[in-house]
Chain A
Amino acid sequence: MHDPQQASAPNARRAATWRRYLRFWGPRAEADVDDEIAFHTDMRARDYMARGMSEADARRAAARRLGDLTQARAECIAIGSRRERRMTRAQLVDAFVHDVRFAWRTLGRQKAWTAVAIITLALGIGANTAVFSVVNALLLHPLPYPNADRIAFVYLEPAQGNNTGMSVVVLPGMPVIRAWKENARSFEAFEAYMDEDRSLRTTDGPPASVNVASVLPSFSEFTGTKPIIGRVFTSRDVADGGRVALLSESLWRGRYGSDPQIIGKSITLDNQPYSVIGVMPVGYRLPQAEVNVSDVWLPLDLRNDSAAVRLVGRLRPNVTMASAKRELEAIYARSSTEKPKSLGSTDFVVRLAAPSEMVSFRQSLLLLSVAVALVLLIACGNVAHLLLAKTAARQRELAIRAAMGASRVRIVRQLLTESLLLAGAGCLGGMLIGWLGLRALVAIRPDSLAELTEARMDGTTLLVTAGLAALTATIVGLLGTLQSARFSANDALKAGAISVSQSRRQRRLRSVLVVSEMAVSTVLLVGATLLIRSIVHLQTVDPGFDASRLYAVRLPLGREYTTAAARQAFLTEVTARMRRVSGVEGLTISTAVPPWRSFLIGALQVEGDPLPPAGATSFLDYNRIEPDYFRFVGIRLVEGSTITDTSKAAGQVVINAGFAKKYWPRTSALGHRIRVVYNGQGDWMTIVGVASDALTSGLMDDASRPMMYMATADYNEPAVLVRVAPGADPIPSLRTVVAQADPRLPSPNVSNIESVMQRSIARPRFTMTLLVAFTGLALVLAAVGLYGVLAYSVAQQTREIGIRIALGATRSEIASSVLRRGILMAAVGALVGVLGARWASKLLESMLYGVGRTDLVSFAIGVAVLLATALAACLVPVRRAVGVDPLISIRAD
């Protein structure tokens, strides 16, 4: 009898074999189920045939018996696919664990190699972690308030821009603020605040100067802060006249000994009693990062038109800054009849700024972020090179694995796993280095960057670090495996190991890596040199006046002295007392204290010129002085005399050389008349003298910017400039003298002008220090990279060098061939780097003083340092090449 089984077997087997191949490429649940059911049907039919049915009948009967299996089939396939997916996943995990174990063993075998790679990565990642911690704290989370990403500062700016070189924040008047607060729908919260120094009466001594912040009752909710004890302000407090106060935790703990009974007690500010209703915790602060910590909080009354307040708001979700700005502008235009009256006809535009835009250190932080990113790139390049060298050395191992059936993907994955492990270790090291770096950064920060202490390594930082490490692993891994991905097992297994084409390709890739590192280092070097030269300029520049041993005593008289006569009398009295203080060599009075500036708002008109058009208003530097001011502070008069008649009628003015040169480049400025036009008016002043340019507005400023010195009969907020004998510390006695002259005044602010001037360059110097540090790091890494490539190629060519020596090549020929290669790579890198630096120095431009961004000297120094470093990195490989013993090297291998 014909057995159907026999006939169908080869076919079935072929089908099954084919399916098995299919299964090799992926889960085949469907095929499995169909196979199984087909088998079942066949068997059933076979049974029927055994009972005597014909084949056709048997098949039909079997099919009938089985019925419709569609649903069962679908169910089985679903279960099967689910299982196969799970198994594939398990297989992947298994393969990964295997990869990791293998990588661990490989790395563990070459401890020195692994250590170098990990340290390199840790340095690169650590530098980024430290800088990112600061960026995160200052730029990304500048305010410790809820929903800080929707917070915007609101202020006005002159419509025609300003010529001061600083950002000018114009505070809108109260009517506008009230209109905004009531009508602006874009904001879910709109806060106004101000802060000022006031004197707090104490039981045991002179009044203390405290920082008093005034805020709306909603401010504590805005900041999400609750009092430690007591309660916060309510609108009732404002309606009742606002004679209540909140204390800061530090004031409460310090001055009031953490008195738990403080609630309800009275404190006296500027002779006004306030009742304490609560104590706010340390974190409670005004929205400006650089503002002093407030000691006392008072309720702000928006009905008070004389208050000059700052504004901050929280936008409603999904409202953009632009649309909020349009709304505020519309409201501002409607209430334009109530423009800030002190600002007259000047046009202003509404400006909204995210908190991060208000961070003054922003530019430096961006620069430093770029710098550390470059450092990390160099680190990546180095480790990629290390990996390449290792891959080359493992060529045979990899070839054997490939020959034994390991797929290319599998091998690349193995190498990626290794770089991932390296990066993981580098990530941990980087976190440690980043933490140390951040501490170092905070330790050497200038005092004015107090907000740096808010930088922390939080979850975000760690996440970013881990992300950087993963990115690094990918870059390094891919660079490192570029080779092996296209290597030929046949070539690699040939006797004599590495084929010529292979090694040439590797050499080229390695050279490209080193050249790139050199280029990036050059960019950093040029940038660092530019900053260094800029700082050197700032430290050695002649300020044009003598700041040594110069002190300024500011006397805010406006509050206690309401008439000009009273102010004048007090000034006479207090300066007479100061002159008698031992160590005081002399003094004068002025309104502007170096390095601060004061401005007149208006448009300058030279007599004979037409009236400036409305809208030409700008900010004009001026200072009100005594006639002896120039002699006293040491500003030379280049023409004419100082002010001889201080009366308003005489209208005498002294201008600086920059002013004279701008308006009278060829003739003398003396005798010309000028005036500051404001609202179409202004008194004419006659130029009686020209003073030399001086950096009284700060070392980082432009000395030749036009400046006017005028006399005044009434100082509203005068400063007494005092020069003392060397070695004298006049601050305590100056304070005492003021207290003796008027015990009601708070202790005055006394500053050492010389040190303030020096401190003003502390920030750029800080930026420079950090950039130099990162550049040093980059340079060392790049040098290590160059060294590595040369040392490796010398090691590879030992035999060739040996043969050349044996054939009569002199040592110097050998040396120069190695050196030539190293210097060539450095030189090409430097060339590319110079081009890059020319472009990148734009980032630096605003931070440079006395140095152009294309300063030839800086570029030359940068390139020279790079080449010198490269030369040093070449020395050891060169010596090794020269030291090759032809006998040993030729016999080797």
Chain B
Amino acid sequence: MPDSTTDFLKGTLDLMVLKTLSWAPAHGYGIARWIEQCTDDVLQVEEGSLYPALHKLEERGLIVAEWGITEHNRRAKFYRLTTAGKKQLAASRDYWARFAGAVFKVLETSPTPR
């Protein structure tokens, strides 16, 4: 899906992953599905970005991974939010809200005539 949403997604992927994990631990596929479902499939998560992002978050200590068994008895790598991840999520969320609000204002305001 090569449109503008892809690029847009990259900057916000971390945030969305953290948010997704704030509900419950999930494996990579679960995270992708959750984001797709939340956005009514508007945002399709690219695996090529998701897994490096997950590993980077894990390296930064924002999430931890554990091998576990799925409800279908499959072995999968589950990611869980750490305390540091929760803090990061809160901070990014505030920032994102302010940023989005600012962008929205720009889009909504029509130029004043001279």
Binding site for B on A (CB under 8 A): 5, 9, 12-13, 16, 32-33, 35-37, 39-40, 42-44, 46-47, 66-69, 71-73, 75-76, 79-80, 82-83
Contacts and interface: CB of A to CB of B under 8 A. Distances in A.
Interface residues of B, number: 22
13 contacts: A5-B73, A12-B74, A35-B77, A39-B27, A40-B47, A42-B74, A67-B47, A72-B49, A73-B51, A75-B52, A75-B55, A76-B52, A80-B55
A83 B59 contact: yes
Interface string B34-67: 0000000000001111011011101100000000
Chain B CB within 10 A, most for which of A35, A46, A75: A75
A5 B76 CA distance: 13
The 6 closest A-B pairs by CB, nearest first: A79-B55, A43-B29, A72-B48, A75-B52, A76-B55, A16-B75
A83 B29 contact: no
Contacts of B47: 37, 40, 66-67, 69, 72
B51 A76 contact: yes
Nearest to B32: A40
Given A12-B74, A42-B74, A83-B58, A36 B48 contact: no
Nearest to B49: A72
Contacts of A82: 59
Given A5-B72, A12-B74, A39-B27, A67 B48 contact: yes
B56 A39 contact: no
A36 B74 contact: no
B49 to A, nearest CB: 7
B40 to A, nearest CB: 16
A40 B52 CA distance: 14
A72 B52 contact: yes
A389 to B, nearest CB: 47
B28 interface: yes
Given A37-B47, A69-B47, A79 B59 contact: yes
Interface centre among B27, B55, B72 (most CB of A within 10 A): B55
A83 B56 CA distance: 10
Contacts of B33: 47
Contacts of B27: 36, 39
Contacts of B76: 36, 39
B77 A39 contact: yes
A5 to B, nearest CB: 5
Interface in B56-106: 56, 58-59, 72-77
A20 to B, nearest CB: 8
Which has the most chain A C-beta neighbours within 10 Å: B28, B29, B76, B77? B29
Contacts of A44: 29
Contacts of A72: 47-49, 51-52
A758 B58 CA distance: 80
Contact of A36 (B56, B73, B77): B77
A12 B75 contact: yes
Most buried by A among B54, B59, B75: B75
Contacts of B58: 79, 83
A82 B51 CA distance: 16
Contacts of A73: 51
Contacts of B75: 12-13, 16, 35, 39
B57 to A, nearest CB: 10
Contacts of B52: 72, 75-76, 79
Contacts of B74: 5, 9, 12, 39, 42-43
A32 B66 CA distance: 11
Given A5-B73, A37-B51, A39-B74, 7 more contacts: A5-B74, A36-B28, A39-B28, A43-B29, A44-B29, A47-B33, A68-B48
Contacts of A66: 47
Nearest to B74: A39
A367 B52 CA distance: 65
Contacts of B51: 33, 36-37, 40, 69, 72-73, 75-76
Contacts of A13: 75
Contacts of B48: 67-69, 71-72
Nearest to B52: A75
B83 to A, nearest CB: 19
Nearest to B77: A36
A82 B56 CA distance: 11
A13 to B, nearest CB: 7
A79 B55 CA distance: 6
Contacts of A68: 48
Given A40-B28, A66-B47, A32 B72 contact: no
Interface string B14-28: 000000000000011
A68 B49 CA distance: 12
Nearest to A5: B72
A806 to B, nearest CB: 65
Contacts of A5: 72-74
A80 B52 CA distance: 10
Contacts of A46: 72
Nearest to B44: A65
Contacts of B73: 5, 9
A83 B54 CA distance: 13
A514 B32 CA distance: 72
B86 to A, nearest CB: 21
A110 to B, nearest CB: 43
A44 B44 CA distance: 13
A492 B78 CA distance: 45
A83 B65 CA distance: 12
A644 B107 CA distance: 132
A40 B74 CA distance: 11
Contacts of B56: 79
A296 to B, nearest CB: 71
A47 B30 CA distance: 11
B77 A32 contact: yes
A39 B74 CA distance: 8
Contacts of A9: 73-74
Contacts of B46: 67
